[in-house]
Chain A
Amino acid sequence: MDLSTTYLGLKLPHPFMPGASPLVDKLDVVKRLEDAGAAAIVMHSLFEEQIAREEWATFRHTETHGESFAEALSYFPSPEKFALGPEEYLDHIRRVKSSVGVPVIASLNGTTLGGWLDYSRLMQEAGADALELNVYSLPSNPDETSQNVEDRTVEMLKAVKEAVKIPVAVKLSPFYTALSNFAQRLDEAGADGLVLFNRFYQPDIDPHELTVVRTLALSDSSELPLRLRWLAILAGRTRASLAVSGGVHTSMDAIKTVMAGAHAVQLVSALLQQGPELLVALRREVEEWMEEMEYRSLEQMQGSLGLRSAPDPTVYERANYMLILQSWREQNP
């Protein structure tokens, strides 16, 4: 069965790959992923904000106390190789690149235009085959308009595209007022791929301690429908290829995303739970199902149930909320 797909212009034997996560921090896990047949390796994100903060904090913690007291002009050794900044991440790209044969997609979350540009270039230099721009910001400032938010991202993308030669994907959150339009603008700005969607840490409240705490639960298949909808809406409308991230746990989940239009299927929670070897089973099951259903190739299935070719496209649009609500009432008088 021909499962091949093209994602970010990369010709891949099949669409399954690990999504951005700490999974790939360990080289032996990366090797296992490759052995399990991962079509590509997506690295966890480099966070510009974190780098800047750590650089500054380390500077403060190591320098503030120095040159203050006659007996101790410093409190730390000063190793030559002690490089803060993106070095650790870039080194990891190099190590992953040298240990696997599949494409390596680096992931970046920037906070400044300079950061996006510098780190993109550095990632390319370190050997990344493609970039995933993890556009993550929470516009809590009431003075910031949706237009600002989108314009900034588009400008950033244009600049990065000019700065690097490797393909660039944009990983989005579902929280845009006009996602179709925004996707189109990104497409026009040169995005080689769109990844739907990012998952965020969410706040929770500890009522005993009167504190707000951070949580990040693993995904499950219930998160898939949101992604199916947007894949379907965008399928065939963008030059950029599409990837799904979040909610794919079974081969049937995967098949659905491809039908909705995904060129690449990224998994994180499922791999964390079941190990890299899940990729082998997934691929086999998809293949078996397709054979049973007499598909010729994955391409034939890709986007078949998108907005453009689905038998009842209105289901993807706003009306479906009403329908479900009504059908539920009918069943439960």
Chain B
Amino acid sequence: MTSRKITIDGNEAAASTAYRINEVCAIYPITPSSNMGEWADEWAAKGLPNIWGKVPEVVEMQSEGGASGAVHGSLQGGALTTTFTASQGLLLMIPNMYKIAGELTAYCMHVAARTVATHALSIFGDHSDVMACRQTGFALLASGSIQEVHDFAVIGQAASLRSRVPFLHFFDGFRSSHEVVKINELTDDDLRHMMDDALIQEHRKRALTPDRPVLRGTAQNPDTFFQSREACNRFYLECAAHVTEAMERFAQRTGRRYRLFDYVGHPAAERVIVMMGSGAETAHEMIECLAAKGEKVGLVKVRLYRPFSIDSFMAALPATVTGIAVLDRTKEPGAVGEPLYLDVITALREARETGVSPLKKDPRVIGGRYGLSSKEFTPAMTKAVLDELDASKPKNHFTVGIVDDVTHTSLKVDPELDIDADDRVRAVFYGLGSDGTVGANKNSIKIIGEETDNHAQGYFVYDSKKAGAVTISHLRFGPRPIRSTYLIRKATFVACHQFEFLDRFDVLELAVPGAVFLLNAPFPKDKVWDSLPLEVQEQIIAKKIKFYAIDAYSVAKDTGMGTRINTIMQTCFFAISGVLPREEAIAKIKKAIEKTYGKRGQEIVKRNFAAVDTTLDHMHEIKVPAKPTTARRRPPIVADAAPDFTKRVQAVMMVGKGDTLPVSAFPFDGTWPLSTTRWEKRNIALDIPVWDSEVCIQCNQCALVCPHAAIRAKIYDPDLLAQAPATFKSTDYKSLDLKGLKYTIQVAPEDCTGCGVCVHICPAKDKANPKHKAINMAPQRPLRATERENYAFFLGLPDIAREKIKRVDVKGSQFFTPLFEYSGACAGCGETPYVKLLSQLFGDRALIANATGCSSIYGGNLPTTPYCSNRDGRGPAWSNSLFEDNAEFGFGMRLAVDANADQARRLLKALSAKLGGNLIQEILDADQGDEAGIARQRQRVDLLRSDLAKLDLPGARQLESLADYLVRKSVWIVGGDGWAYDIGYGGLDHVLAMGRKVNVLVLDTEVYSNTGGQASKATPMGAAAKFAMAGKDLGKKDLGLLAMSYGNVYVATVAMGAKMNQTVQAFLEADAYPGPSLIIAYCHCIAHGYDLLYGLDQQKRAVESTLWPLYRFDPRRIAAGEPPLKLDSGKGKASVAEYMQNETRFRMVEKINPERFRDLLERAGRLAAQRFAVYQQLAGIKVPRASTGGDAEQPTAPAKD
């Protein structure tokens, strides 16, 4: 049988099969399954046919709920249909899954199993999502390896066609979906062999068609539903046999034989583990190893979990078994045990009752949890579980892989045990996302996997930062198949692609004695050794490590590669790892470069070739002295001043050792403190801005546009300068109303990402040397220490009282302390300046509901989070519920705030007699329209508290707990366009229609940014995005106009780069408006494909070209007899074409098909002109003031604060 070897990840393996055996694919992006849909879309766009010669239709829906509705309809229509999803997406599909199963529909969906959000969101893998589908009536088929993912995708569908039971085929998110290995590809003929034409005909015959009409989806009553429901039993009873049949047919064709339950281990095993998914591969490895030594241990890999075949399960167990440990990769709080455990117990019991049990005696059964959220599952853990079965009093409902020092569920694991084979190269690479390390490693795996007989495996660990992201690649190569579904623990090769990492991570921890270490060091070869911190020197000496270094950045610079060092480091790897002969390896690297980039441009190929060719001359083996030569130790991870929790918990996470933290380290309900990014000094900027006070015009634009709050403005009393560090800069503050103060622009040197946006926007130029502005970029390293000190002093200066800022505009707003700082967002991010502005204007009284997406990741992803509190301890109270429900979530916050405020006012009135004086009435009547009003109200509430303290009444205690609600709160609902335009639109629409005082901020990047650039309904005409590869040919949805149609919603569009003051004004008006408000903010994004340094320029072009008109629709203007819509921008210099030609997302379309692009460009221009004309007309329309209620004159609901 000829079968191609391919080196792919699990997502591609699943999609490759599913795509070829289906006709329709309806999807919605969700990590970690997004790539399956993207592959399908890409293949469809390339015109790749399925096995019947038809190009499947791939459609992106507005949510997984929508996708599963479309799937259901398509199945009812008779098409072979599939979808790919995970986690929350799978949950949204459940209602349709019940229907699809209830109607006995042949269908196989593919799930990259991922943690369901509970106390926190997690994008990583476990079975909590799949386990939530047990009741739907779907068959659940589990893959453990990438080969299985590829194979089970067709076995599942074949069995479904025969059994009519729909299948959910799943594999572990990330560990399987993203692991790259070499597998045997299924040919189209293999797939044809599995897909029975007659069964497909039957599937089509069951379709709804007016030519043979039937009716489904009836409503049934107590008289019939129950019996009807039981009518499907036969199909479930027969399902397992159909799966066995499909597996057998598959084995005959491919030689790969699977069973419903596969047994591995000693034929006379006494202790057996039962589990499913990728962890079973690791257990397989360990158990084979133990069984080979004669230990009577075994493993049952569960393939078909539902319908659960007791007979097959029992048949898989050796009769000798006396102890069974069942491992569940999920948690069901409050249950007797986790699902698989319960099933095994029940199966054993029933088997005994019915006499099908081969077991000589009733085995001991224990259950435990492992691997939640991709927690490692290792051979040592397997061993720990087996050992537990031998214990005299084994723990039941144990956990393995963590230390539970609270309820003591965890098993002890031998930290030294490792069985990774010695005949394998085990290589670990530390890199930066932007240096291309992962890409090059994937490439190396392909080279080794496809060009040699070796087996190859790669798995990649990413941190959750979007700027300066660290990647760790784990690569294994060897002559035998690789089942090790865990990270490398003993590496024969370690590469550190960033010198700075030596100060942050223990990169040699994993190196075995005699390992090879490759370091990218920006020093001449004779200076490398001395530049290492002591800890690294000691390890190199102690472990007798062979040490090589290269100054890859200078090679990259000299060959025109910029900061892209990946091919250079890859060449070094091949040269010293010995996986392939040097010359052969270099030839293959070049071949791969040509293959990858040849079409994209010879320039890329040329530069990469030059880099490869010059690399080896610059790589040197570094002589290791007998003793360390430095006293320099690694710096502490966090400053000594950090809070205890940060030092004890977060600092451990920062160095990548979060796995070692015990249960007791964590809050039990997911509540975390604010203000923690300030302790994570990442020093990722190569250059930082430096202020020139002489040139500065004190406009504060730099501070406004900074995405990371890393450049700030402050005004303060001159006397305070007495304590200033010598290099601290200061100048007289130029202002009419606040005279005699000093002014400083200060950079946070260790938090800046070096994006340069502040310098780019700076309007002040030195007249004699206009190249020199009021801020200019300069190398960070030499400035780090002094600016760190200056910044600390700056932060210590008191903030000006908010009420003293009379004009809250661009300049004034920047004297308010940002309560959102140093997030992990991309360098130059277009979203975060708006979020930061929100935090400055309202943060001390804001509640923020944040939809899942980029803003929830940079807003809430551990180890540290950017929202922070001010000196009074006030700050944004932030939470992320889900992706789809964010408007409702924020709306709920408003209901609670109003309820609490109402109750406080009620109590206040009730206690007024006791409290006396004017204070009560003043509080009740307070004007909190501006900062001064709010400050006065806070003072009143303070007075009230002291008065209340004197009252010994229950009402007083209650009021004390609610008194803060007497100060106006600002509820913000924040999310991206994927949420607002697509998945959350229904909820957003409803919330806007409710008339309550909530503020919505849509961070519109015109694409799903967080999941990798899939098209949304905000994607503009002519832009290429995933699922709109040829360029979107429909216009962007006009969300603002839809909201305006209610008449009582304040609506504004903003684009900071075009009109900064209009942005500030819109935020202030939105907060002040007594009803719902919606701000749609233009956000440039890396998914637009250009240097974000120019993001604000592009914003300006978007506005000038009328693609993004600025306006504010304020229903209050109706009462004044004015048109409610005010256009804040007009047609300017820039054209639609000029705007588009600067971004890859449009340029790509032009390059693919210039004719089509010209057409799209013309239509986009026309559309923009038409839309603008509509706004112009609206801006001239005065709405008559209605005489009675229900009009648009006032918000429908009264303001509650």
Task: State whether A64 and B434 are in contact (beta carbons under 8 Å apart), knowing that A71-B1012, A211-B770 are contacts in the complex.
Answer: yes
Q: Are B1147 and A72 in contact (CB under 8 A)?
A: no
Task: State whether A63 and B1012 are in contact (beta carbons under 8 Å apart), knowing that A68-B434, A68-B462, A80-B46 are contacts in the complex.
Answer: no
Count, chain A residues at interface, CB 8 A: 42
Q: Are A83 and B599 in contact (CB under 8 A)?
A: yes
**Is residue A52 contacting chain B, with contact meaning CB distance below 8 A?**
yes
Q: Are A76 and B1089 in contact (CB under 8 A)?
A: yes
Most chain A Cβ neighbours within 10 Å, of B45, B46, B436, B1148 = B1148
Give the docked Cα–Cα distance between A132 and B1024 (Å): 34
Give the docked Cα–Cα distance between A47 and B826 (Å): 33
The 8 A CB mask of A72-100 against B (1 = contact, 0 = none) is 11111111111111011001100000000
Q: Are B1144 and A76 in contact (CB under 8 A)?
A: yes
Q: Are B1029 and A79 in contact (CB under 8 A)?
A: yes
Which stretch (A54-62, A140-148, A214-222) binds chain B? A54-62
**Is residue A317 contacting chain B, with contact meaning CB distance below 8 A?**
no
A59-B601, A65-B433, A65-B1086 given. 6 additional CB < 8 A pairs? A54-B601, A59-B604, A76-B1024, A77-B1029, A79-B1152, A84-B600
Task: State whether A78 and B42 are in contact (beta carbons under 8 Å apart), knowing that A55-B602, A64-B434, A71-B1012 are contacts in the complex.
Answer: yes
Listed by A's residue number, 17 A-B pairs whose Cβ atoms lie within 8 Å are: A55-B603, A56-B601, A56-B603, A61-B1090, A63-B564, A70-B123, A70-B174, A72-B1010, A74-B1012, A75-B1013, A78-B42, A79-B1152, A80-B46, A82-B599, A85-B601, A92-B1154, A210-B767
Give the docked Cα–Cα distance between A26 and B436 (Å): 39
Tell me which residues across on chain A come within 8 A of B433, comparing CB atoms. 65, 67-69
Task: State whether A84 and B1151 are in contact (beta carbons under 8 Å apart), knowing that A70-B32, A70-B462 are contacts in the complex.
Answer: yes
Q: Are A76 and B1148 in contact (CB under 8 A)?
A: yes
The 8 A CB mask of B1004-1016 against A (1 = contact, 0 = none) is 0000011111000
**Is residue B994 contacting chain A, with contact meaning CB distance below 8 A?**
no
**Is residue A10 contacting chain B, with contact meaning CB distance below 8 A?**
no
Within the complex, which residue of A26, A68, A80 is in contact with B469, where a contact is CB–CB below 8 Å? A68
Tell me which residues across on chain A come within 8 A of B438, comparing CB atoms. 67-68
Beta-carbon nearest neighbor of A64 in chain B: B434
Q: Are B1012 and A75 in contact (CB under 8 A)?
A: yes
Q: Please list the 7 inter-chain residue pairs (A to B) with the smallest Cβ-Cβ separation, ordered nearest first.
A: A68-B433, A55-B601, A72-B1012, A67-B438, A210-B770, A75-B1013, A55-B603
Q: Are A66 and B439 in contact (CB under 8 A)?
A: yes
**Is residue A163 contacting chain B, with contact meaning CB distance below 8 A?**
no
Task: State whether A52 and B603 are in contact (beta carbons under 8 Å apart), knowing that A59-B597, A75-B1012 are contacts in the complex.
Answer: yes
Chain B residues numbered 1013-1033 whose CB sits less than 8 Å from any CB in chain A: 1013, 1024-1030
**Total A-B residue contacts, Cβ distance less than 8 Å:** 164
Tell me which residues across on chain A come within 8 A of B462, comparing CB atoms. 68-70
Tell me which residues across on chain A come within 8 A of B442, comparing CB atoms. 67
Task: State whether A88 and B174 are in contact (beta carbons under 8 Å apart), knowing that A55-B601, A67-B433, A79-B45 are contacts in the complex.
Answer: no
**Is residue A51 contacting chain B, with contact meaning CB distance below 8 A?**
yes
Most chain A Cβ neighbours within 10 Å, of B432, B597, B1010, B1144 = B1144
Chain B interface size, as a band, is: 35 or more
Beta-carbon nearest neighbor of B46 in chain A: A80
**Is residue B885 contacting chain A, with contact meaning CB distance below 8 A?**
no
Within the complex, which residue of A69, A77, A84, A92 is in contact with B41, where a contact is CB–CB below 8 Å? A77
Tell me which residues across on chain A come within 8 A of B174, comparing CB atoms. 70
Task: State whether A79 and B562 are in contact (beta carbons under 8 Å apart), knowing that A59-B600, A62-B1144, A65-B1086 are contacts in the complex.
Answer: no
Tell me which residues across on chain B come within 8 A of A87, comparing CB atoms. 1151
Give the docked Cα–Cα distance between A85 and B178 (Å): 32
Tell me which residues across on chain B come within 8 A of A65, comparing CB atoms. 433-434, 826, 1086
Q: Are B31 and A70 in contact (CB under 8 A)?
A: yes
**Is residue A155 contacting chain B, with contact meaning CB distance below 8 A?**
no
**Is residue B504 contacting chain A, with contact meaning CB distance below 8 A?**
no
Most chain A Cβ neighbours within 10 Å, of B437, B601, B1087 = B601
A residues neighboring B (CB under 8 Å)? 26, 51-52, 54-85, 87-88, 91-92, 118, 210-211
Q: Are A51 and B603 in contact (CB under 8 A)?
A: yes
Tell me which residues across on chain B come within 8 A of A88, comparing CB atoms. 1150-1151, 1154
Within the complex, which residue of B471, B601, B1090, B1091 is in contact with A67, where a contact is CB–CB below 8 Å? B471
Q: Are B1024 and A77 in contact (CB under 8 A)?
A: yes
Give the docked Cα–Cα distance between A152 and B324 (Å): 81
Tell me which residues across on chain B come within 8 A of A58, comparing CB atoms. 600-601, 1089, 1144, 1147
Q: Are A79 and B1012 in contact (CB under 8 A)?
A: no
**Is residue B464 contacting chain A, with contact meaning CB distance below 8 A?**
yes
Q: How far is the CB of A113 from chain B (nearest CB, A)?
A: 13
Beta-carbon nearest neighbor of B1092 in chain A: A61
Within the complex, which residue of A61, A67, A77 is in contact with B45, where a contact is CB–CB below 8 Å? A77
**Is residue B35 contacting chain A, with contact meaning CB distance below 8 A?**
yes
Give the docked Cα–Cα distance between A73 and B1153 (Å): 25
The 8 A CB mask of B466-493 against A (1 = contact, 0 = none) is 1001010000000000000000000000
Tell me which residues across on chain A come within 8 A of B1028, comparing CB atoms. 77
Q: Are A73 and B1012 in contact (CB under 8 A)?
A: yes
Tell me which residues across on chain A come within 8 A of B760, comparing CB atoms. none
Q: How far is the CB of B1159 from chain A (nearest CB, A)?
A: 12
**Is residue B607 contacting chain A, with contact meaning CB distance below 8 A?**
yes
Tell me which residues across on chain A come within 8 A of B560, comparing CB atoms. 56
**Is residue B110 contacting chain A, with contact meaning CB distance below 8 A?**
no
Beta-carbon nearest neighbor of A27 in chain B: B1155
Tell me which residues across on chain A come within 8 A of B1025, comparing CB atoms. 76-77
Tell me which residues across on chain A come within 8 A of B767, comparing CB atoms. 210
Tell me which residues across on chain A come within 8 A of B1152, comparing CB atoms. 79, 81-82
**Is residue B618 contacting chain A, with contact meaning CB distance below 8 A?**
no
The 8 A CB mask of B590-604 against A (1 = contact, 0 = none) is 000000010111111
Q: How far is the CB of A34 from chain B (nearest CB, A)?
A: 19
Q: How far is the CB of B431 from chain A (nearest CB, A)?
A: 9
Tell me which residues across on chain A come within 8 A of B469, comparing CB atoms. 68-69
Q: Are A91 and B600 in contact (CB under 8 A)?
A: no
Q: Are A73 and B35 in contact (CB under 8 A)?
A: yes
Within the complex, which residue of B602, B603, B1086 is in contact with A75, where a contact is CB–CB below 8 Å? B1086
Tell me which residues across on chain B come within 8 A of A63, comparing CB atoms. 436, 439, 564
Chain B residues numbered 44-76 whose CB sits less than 8 Å from any CB in chain A: 45-46
Task: State whether A71 and B1151 are in contact (beta carbons under 8 Å apart), knowing that A59-B604, A76-B1145, A210-B770 are contacts in the complex.
Answer: no
Chain B residues numbered 415-432 whose CB sits less than 8 Å from any CB in chain A: 432
Q: Are A76 and B1026 in contact (CB under 8 A)?
A: yes
Q: How far is the CB of A74 from chain B (nearest CB, A)?
A: 6
Tell me which residues across on chain B come within 8 A of A79, comparing CB atoms. 42, 45-46, 1024, 1029-1030, 1148, 1152
Tell me which residues across on chain A come within 8 A of B46, comparing CB atoms. 79-80
Within the complex, which residue of A64, A74, A83, A92 is in contact with B600, where a contact is CB–CB below 8 Å? A83
Task: State whether A67 and B436 are in contact (beta carbons under 8 Å apart), knowing that A76-B1024, A76-B1089, A79-B1029 are contacts in the complex.
Answer: yes
Tell me which residues across on chain B come within 8 A of A69, comparing CB atoms. 433, 462, 464, 466, 469
Tell me which residues across on chain B come within 8 A of A51, comparing CB atoms. 601, 603
Tell me which residues across on chain A come within 8 A of B826, comparing CB atoms. 65
Give the docked Cα–Cα distance between A276 and B560 (Å): 43
Give the docked Cα–Cα distance between A69 and B434 (Å): 10
Give the docked Cα–Cα distance between A211 and B469 (Å): 36
Q: Are B600 and A55 in contact (CB under 8 A)?
A: yes
Task: State whether A77 and B42 are in contact (beta carbons under 8 Å apart), knowing that A55-B601, A65-B826, A70-B464 are contacts in the complex.
Answer: yes
Give the docked Cα–Cα distance between A83 and B605 (Å): 13
Give the docked Cα–Cα distance between A77 and B1019 (Å): 14
Q: How far is the CB of B731 from chain A (nearest CB, A)?
A: 21
Beta-carbon nearest neighbor of A48 in chain B: B603
Within the complex, which residue of A56, A67, A76 is in contact with B607, where a contact is CB–CB below 8 Å? A56
Tell me which residues across on chain B come within 8 A of A71, comparing CB atoms. 31-32, 34, 123, 857, 1010-1012
Give the docked Cα–Cα distance between A77 and B857 (Å): 23
The 8 A CB mask of B629-666 against A (1 = contact, 0 = none) is 00000000000000000000000000000000000000
Q: How far is the CB of A166 from chain B (nearest CB, A)?
A: 22
**Is residue B765 contacting chain A, with contact meaning CB distance below 8 A?**
yes
Tell me which residues across on chain A come within 8 A of B35, comparing CB atoms. 73
Tell me which residues across on chain B come within 8 A of A76, comparing CB atoms. 1013, 1024-1026, 1087, 1089, 1144-1145, 1148
